[in-house]
Amino acid sequence: MTMKLPYFPGCTLHEKARNFDQTARAAAQALGFELAELEGWTCCGAAFPLAGDNLMGLVPAVRILAQASQQGEELVTLCSFCYNVLKRANKVVREDTEKRDKINMYLDEEFDEPYTGQVEVLHFLEVLRDKITFEELAQRVKRKLPELKLGPYYGCLLLRPPKEIGLDDPDHPQILHNFLSSLGCQVIDFPFASECCGSYQAVRAPELAMECSYRIIKSARLNGIDALVTSCPLCHFNLDAKQKAMAKKYGEFSPLPIFYFTQLLAVALDLEESIWGFDQHQVRPDELIKIPVVEEKQ
């Protein structure tokens, strides 16, 4: 089945989080479907505008959805922020006809038909869970990492607001847990799995953001976690790049590698090392992964 799914990477995935994008595509191919990148896509806007009268803020996201609607009925994304913005913007368009009409006015030069919410926004994890299934995924794993203790870190935007996003239970989410289990890894639950990393306050209040991230890492270490797994480049940055500064402020601790979930998928599917992209990490996870192949699977 060579399923072709329209795909929106978002700005960061083509630059600071290239490894996230690369491993996702390669994994998709190995699993038998294609992430068909939208042509000429633009920034989604990154933040869903919380002021109800801010319609301009929604235009970038709706534009992407309109683009996607020309290529199919679904749109897959990887970055938590993009996912959140696109999904929430989609809901506005579906439920508020007045806003929908106004937004479409900004797009009518580019698109013949107004966008009315035809596209279903999917996260890559949903594709794995619902279209490939975790059971099937477990069968395809070539390289098991049974010794590895992973902490699934969901962050905020993958789960909240729960009624609108609806991906999983906001307080006891399971989707990343189940994904990691299907790869044959040990999954450790810890209390900070969906606590905020500090998000964009890394720019304006960096000390405060660092405190948020440090608490997450501390909790992970206390619970015996070897590495955290995330789906958001900003979370990755806050958790990974700041560890040196954290050690300086809060005292030394054993550095904790942060993975994108697709990197682990690439490793598990035994895809070539060159795409794993560990060179983009501050805290290199290479040692953790250098475990001999346990079983050869067909």
Partner 1 sequence: MRIEISNEKVNSDFVKKIEEISGENIFSCYQCGKCSAGCPLVGEMDLLPNQVMRLVQLGQEQELLNCRTIWLCASCLTCFSRCPKGVDLAKVMEALRVQLTRGGIDKLELREIPSDILAETPQMGIICSFRKFTG
Binding-site ranges for partner 1 (CB under 8 A) = 10-12, 15-17, 43, 45-47, 49-54, 57, 79, 81-82, 156-157, 159-162, 170, 195-196, 198-206, 208-209, 211-212, 215, 233-234, 236-237, 241
CA atoms within 13 A on the CB side of 75: 31
Report whether 17 contacts 57 (CB < 8 A).
no
Burial of residue 231 (CB within 10 Å: 0-12, 13-18, 19+) is buried
Least CB distance to partner 1 at residue 135 (A): 30
- Nearer of residues 13 and 66 to partner 1, judged by Cβ: 13
- Nearer of residues 241 and 283 to partner 1, judged by Cβ: 241
Least CB distance to partner 1 at residue 53 (A): 6
- Nearer of residues 17 and 76 to partner 1, judged by Cβ: 17
Closest CA to 192 of 225, 163, 149, 148: 225
Dihedral sign for Cα 142, 147, 148, 150, please: positive
Least CB distance to partner 1 at residue 21 (A): 13
- Nearer of residues 149 and 160 to partner 1, judged by Cβ: 160
Least CB distance to partner 1 at residue 278 (A): 17
Please state whether the peptide bond connecting residue 161 to the residue before it is cis, i.e. omega within 30 degrees of 0. yes
- Nearer of residues 1 and 51 to partner 1, judged by Cβ: 51
Residue 72 gets the label, from left (phi > 0), alpha (psi -120 to 50) or beta, of left
Least CB distance to partner 1 at residue 141 (A): 30
Residues 210 and 293: their CA atoms lie apart, in Å, by: 37
